[in-house]
Chains A and B, each alone.
Chain A
């Protein structure tokens, strides 16, 4: 029994009129993992989530939770609890009544309900909040009550619909870690949907990147970040310099690409690209080596000289914008976190370099296709 996945989605499709919100999606989530669905707004992730929760029925395909098909099963009969985007705590009830709502539906005796409610509130770090009303709680406390309200039912699946969106930045960073820890402690399968790549990367065991109703790639955060399968994933996960261009020549597993900005560079082959093909090159700011001396980048396949156009200081995420002297290309380059180039000034000359394998290259979309 234990090898049954907690959630299996088989070929699920949902259309709204002529618009296909979710397009033949299949995936399965093993027991006890943290799975994120990451995508821009309007990609269909909320529709997919609502189908898993049972608020909408798929037009085609099947959703299976722990081996049981959920087709035609109403939302109140599904072993999946949901933390809503705006939490949807019941303002007419106290914290304890909110958390006990689901237990009361199961006809559990009152003393047992009180016991389990107190237990779960303690677990989420709110042992004394039971008697409070909802509007007495802070944003982070509400978050925890919303999660406790679901977890107290011991669901097979916990669905989270961008629950951190309404929190301020500091609290959001904190809740990310807390959620991850909570999931590891209790071992319930979490399905988390978000448009925030950092939330997905930090918390998830596996991430599905969704775009226009389809999954572009499913994998661990590292895979998505370093080895994106598609152009969309490369552009959506993490920051990149991206240049459209054309393949000049293919030799020895390396492409020579001339970008539209006039930059000549070498990148490793990904997929099938022949000479003359329109491609897009993705280069992450942190893989570009930056140095004041030419020797600093002499062992790199791609080298160029540029001048600093702009500096954006943001602590560990500081970026320099460097204009190439041989072309019109402008590079976003991460500054070394050691503070080695802390005295860099706009207008100064620097040397940049990167290896062919560190850039990703994808075929550009055909004219007329979108994305």
Chain B
């Protein structure tokens, strides 16, 4: 009896940090925000409950346009990141051995030792009108006047992909590392060319890594604030900016909370759809 209660106390103590972390930082704020999002201010300090905040989103085209734009560009950024990261990860995992492999992996990691803000500023230095690329093109004589590369969707995508790269490369390298070289050789030996081996052997094997990388990158991109704001400028609206505006500029916590929950629903839906499409399960992908 005594031993048993001792075991219980131990179990409780072990679980306590996790439970506290989940409860205080995730469940509680979300519950609070959800309640706030259902509130409606009818007069100063007078509230009624209702779905007005959610309705507002569908009535005002700017909101849902930004919403769709954010979703589309996030998917696009994720796909492009995958396209760029896959050959990199394949090269690191399958072509290199020993020291060069570790060095290259470290090089991928290196940019993430500085904050995202500094990395965005780095792109600004490169791409602005008086920046490195523009000056270089002028020196070469390819353009006559300074060119502005910043503040458009392309610049924003470049920044988003650059920011997400590592989170795609790491799970891909992990997945490809476990692929036995002799499977690739057997694929060739039995008559497959490079494309067939990639499609039938390499990609199916790396699928859990691909999906987990995509989920992480998609979530990070969708919830990114710094990069779209700094590199995308005024024309490239991002949904997180709308949430920021509601909370900070307009002090409309009710509307901001509703937007937050819409974004959560969107990301959950897209991740679910992605898992269904790739026939993977969340449990398998995240281990």
**Inter-chain contact B192/A101, CB cutoff 8 Å:** yes
* Chain B residues positioned under 8 Å from A75 (CB to CB): 185, 188-189
**Contact of B200 with A by CB under 8 A:** yes
In the complex, chain A residues whose CB is within 8 Å of the CB of B137: none
B189 touches A81 (CB 8 A): yes
The segment from A85-93, A178-186, A351-359 that touches chain B is A85-93
Q: How many A-B contacts at CB < 8 Å in the complex?
A: 62
Q: Which residues of A contact B185 (CB under 8 A)?
A: 53, 55, 75, 82, 84, 88
Q: Is A281 an interface residue (CB 8 A)?
A: no
A45 at the B interface (CB under 8 A): no
Q: Which of A54, A55, A85, A102 contacts B190 (CB 8 A)?
A: A102
Chain B, 182-195, contact with A by CB distance < 8 Å: what is the 0/1 string? 11011111111100
Distance between Cα atoms of A149 and B191 in the complex (Å): 12
Q: Counting CB contacts under 8 A, is A74 at the interface?
A: yes
Point out the residue from B190, B193, B205 that lies within 8 Å of A149, measured CB to CB. Answer: B190
Known pairs A84-B182, A86-B182, A92-B205; A101 contacts B190 (CB<8 A): yes
Please tell me the size bucket of the interface on A: 20 to 34
Interface size counted on chain B using CB atoms at 8 A: 17
* Contact residue among A76, A90, A93 (Cβ-Cβ distance under 8 Å from B191): A76
Q: Which residues of B contact A82 (CB under 8 A)?
A: 185-186, 189
Interface of B is mostly: helix
Assess whether B182 is in contact with A76, with CB atoms less than 8 Å apart.
no
A22 close to B (CB within 8 Å): no
- Assess the A150–B190 pair: CB atoms within 8 A: yes
Contact B190 A105, beta carbon cutoff 8 Å = yes
In the bound complex, CA of A153 to CA of B186 (Å): 13
Partner of B180, one of A53, A55, A88: A88
The residues of B that contact A55 with a CB separation of less than 8 Å are 185, 188-189
CB pair A85–B182 under 8 Å, yes or no, is: yes
A90 and B189 CA atoms in complex are apart in Å by 13
Task: Find chain A residues with CB under 8 A from B189 CB.
Answer: 53-55, 75-76, 80-82
* A149 partner residues in chain B, CB cutoff 8 A: 190
With a cutoff of 8 Å between Cβ atoms, the chain B residues found around residue A77 in the complex are 191
Q: What 1/0 flags go to A105-142 for Cβ under 8 Å of B?
A: 11000000000000000000000000000000000000
Scan A49-88; emit 1 where CB is below 8 A from any B CB, else 0. 0000111000000000000000000111100111011101
Q: A74 near B188 (CB under 8 angstroms)?
A: yes
CB distance from B108 to the nearest CB of A (A): 27
- A72 smallest CB distance to B (angstroms): 15
- Say whether A105 contacts B192, CB under 8 Å: yes
User: Is B133 at the interface (CB under 8 A from chain A)?
Assistant: no
Residues of A in contact with B (beta carbons under 8 Å apart): 53-55, 74-77, 80-82, 84-86, 88-93, 101-102, 105-106, 149-150, 153
8 interchain residue pairs of minimum CB distance: A105-B191, A102-B190, A88-B186, A92-B204, A88-B182, A75-B188, A84-B182, A76-B188
Binding site for A on B (CB under 8 A): 180, 182-183, 185-193, 196, 200-201, 204-205
- Contacts A86-B182, A150-B190 aside, 16 further interface pairs with beta carbons under 8 A come to A53-B189, A54-B188, A75-B189, A76-B190, A81-B190, A82-B186, A84-B186, A88-B182, A89-B186, A90-B183, A90-B187, A92-B201, A92-B204, A92-B205, A101-B187, A149-B190
Of the A-B pairs whose beta carbons lie under 8 Å apart in the complex, a sample of 5, sorted by A's number, is A54-B188, A86-B182, A88-B183, A92-B200, A105-B196
